Amino acid sequence: MHLFIKNICSMYLFFIVNSCLTVEASFQDNLRSQLTSYDLLDPAKIISKRSLAEDDIQQLHIVAFNRSFHLVLHQGYSGTVPASLTIQTVQRDGTIRSSKAAELLSDFYTGHIDGLPNSHVSGYREGEKFYLTIDDGDQLLHIEPLSVMSNNQSDHRLLAYYDDAINSTGHFCGSESAEAGGPIRTSPAPSAFTEFGAAAAGSQARHLRRRRRQASAETGGGSGRQQLKSVCRMQLVADYTFVQRIASGSFGSTAKSLIKIADDINKVYMDTTFTHPTTGEVFTNVGFELAQMVVLESPSQNSGPPWAPHFNAPLSPDAPPQHASQYLEAFGDFEQNGIRLNDYCINHLVTFRPMQQNILGLAYLGSYNPNNIGGVCSPPSMSNHGRQRMIGRNIGMATYANKDGQPILSRQALLVSAHELGHNMGSEHDPVTQSVCSPSWLDGGPYLMYQIAVSGSVRHHSMFSECSSKQIAMLISTRKSSCFHSASNKLCGNHRREPGEECDPGLAEDRCCSADCRLKPPARCSDANSPCCRSCQFAGPGTLCQRKSLLNPCQKDTFCTGLNDTCPRPANEKDGAPCNFGVGYCLLGRCESVCSRLGPGFKPCACDSEEHACRVCCRDEAGGNCTVYRHGGDSVLMPANQPCQKGADHLQGRCDGNGTCQELASGSGQLIVRLWDLIVQSGSSSVATFLWKNIVFTVVILSLLLWVPACAIIAYQDRIDARKSGDSEAVAADIRYSAARPGGSAQGRYFT
């Protein structure tokens, strides 16, 4: 009997350890399915210091992908969200708490890479976690907490990845039409009916179109006067699954996430000029003003009947994926959820609910015809899914979960939201038959509104095509007087010096610049905006304003002239000079990969075999395999600490500089540090918070506290019984099993 229980103990311990390893492998597999390469950063190795001269300036030193990033950051918000924005939080008991966005904006940062004044860095900090986007002018690097992907709040590591490392998805963005009965009113765009169907509500027929966005199962001319009314007031809503899973249950983290989502979406839209195809009207500064945020901290108490569930109803862990169009209608059921949808131009929901058919987003298509239903400023219409009441149609949604309940990257989720809002704004999918709107990968790749869900791996993925630009311009042209309002041409306080401003210090007090963005006499410039400004005066000639760095190794140091506050363009290094630790060469001031020597279409790639994992490999994008690059018969080694993949399981590793990929050491020490912090805090609330946020760890420890003593007692009783029976051989075998010797540990008794 004792032997049976002993075997049960061993099997249970094996199950616990194997479960922990399975969780780790699961999120690693999820990462590898979405990224061709990534880097994991230890926040303890991020060097942070504050400028002694300027209190609002913080400097960060980050090493990612074997590159050193010296970030010069200004504390304070520089985006498009007004500080007066009200955030409505629906608490667990159903009461509503109101707060101002200004309370959170001090945790935001904006700045540049030291030595690259034209670079841009933006993001925010939430406790020990960083959310940063680094644009060096050539690539976008994203840094975000790994805990979102691993669902382990005790894991403080940061995930770093480039846009071009995101795997492309292979599923099409589907479409469906709905009919609510009634006669059909002819539309000025009859092709829309034949391609997408129609819908009617009440006595008037309305054209209705829903768009849905799918995730990969693998993962992956004229000119006119500029119009001012081009801004759409948006309400952004986060349901409780987003709050709990993406924001770790934190109100502050949720609100900051929503602010960053709105800012990143606006970057996509405001960087685009939308031109009407026939009238030539030009619309710039098109975007969304975040007018309201709603945060739902817990499931709604009124979950609704089975035939009409609340969009914020509880979600059980084993629940099947939801029907996306029915879920979108639940969000549009304003009578049930009490959210004022008609007060805003558009309403966008973010959630963490798996959807059927691997759908990531869904939205109603807007139309330039005011008689059509759907999209921005659309009136409600009768439900198409049996709710028997009016449903808001100026809505869209994006989920951060794939169909398996695994999180997607924040960059791809952002593009899903931008894509769905594009449908709300009247854009169809880019036609694959027109190369100007759906170019090949050799010509820059597809644009944001491509019918296959874009990943963000190329610049076109966050840009609108000419086709989308025309369709959105048509909608703005006919809806501008009733739906849109004027954009502010001047955003004093966003830390960017714009036309009409002499300076812009952001939200912080500045000794050179006033609150209305004018220079304070006798200031000639502002240190916050000008690299060649020192103490509000032009820096002297010879002052270093842009140093040569790993990010621009083919450009020399640059020095101020003393005549103005502008840093001159840097001189280039000699063409052919080695760069990037020998895996590149300089050409016209840029560090080009050695692969380009093989031909214009050759790009770097990662060889599959472990033997070549730390050697430069190249592939012709027009077709061909990834092979080792050889120069004069010799291969080129990757520099030390370069990320690589080791073995058949593609474990994350680092090159040793001699051509070998070494597996990374386990980060088990992270938990020890976390436990030590908990012991130091020694507060009951901190202990409870730790146990709740690390529920798997808690269950394992509590289980071991029961099983380990039980197994020890049984093993001890076995030894007593063996001695009584005089079976010395059994005693010896039992001693070997339990490792019961002087100085032996209790743990050793069960793992020898």
Report the residue count for the chain.
Answer: 752
Beta carbons of 323 and 386 less than 8 angstroms apart: no
131 phi, psi to nearest 5 deg: -125, 105
The distance in angstroms from the start CA to the end CA of the chain is: 22
Report how far residue 752's alpha carbon sits from residue 739's, in angstroms, rounded to the nearest whole number.
7
Joined tokens for residue 553: 């190794």
Buried b / exposed e along 2-22 (16+ C-beta atoms within 10 A):
eeeebeebeeebeebeeeeee
The Cα–Cα gap between 746 and 585 comes to 59
* Residue 221 CB neighbours (<10 A): 8
Q: How far apart are CA 594 and CA 639, in angstroms?
A: 14
Rounded to an integer, what distance in angstroms lies between the CA atom of residue 407 and that of residue 22?
17
Active-site residue, 420 included: yes
Residue 477 host element (H or E): helix 466-479
CA distance 687 to 700: 16
The radius of gyration computed from the CA coordinates of the chain, to the nearest angstrom, equals 29
Q: Is 602 in a helix, a strand, or coil?
A: strand
382 token code pair:
């009768």
CA-angle at 291, arms to 289 and 294, nearest 5°: 130
Q: Cβ contacts of residue 310 below 8 Å, gap of 6+?
A: 300, 302, 303, 304, 330, 336, 337
Q: Residue 631 annotated as binding?
A: no
Quick check: 57 and 530 in contact, CB under 8 A? no
Annotated catalytic residue within 297, 329, 420, 501: 420
Find out whether 650 is annotated in a ligand binding site: no
Residue 423, marked binder: yes
Q: DSSP per residue over 324-374, as a string?
A: HHHHHHHHH-HHHH----TTSSEEEEEE---BGGGEEEEEEPP-SSTTS-S
By the 8 A CB rule, do 603 and 617 touch? no
Residue 643 Cα distances to 32, 556, 595, 602, 661, angstroms: 13, 28, 19, 21, 8
Give me 325's structure tokens: 């169009």
Backbone angles phi, psi at 709, to 5 degrees: -60, -40
The annotation places the binding site for Zn(2+) at: 419, 423, 429
The annotation places the binding site at: 419, 423, 429
Active site residues: 420
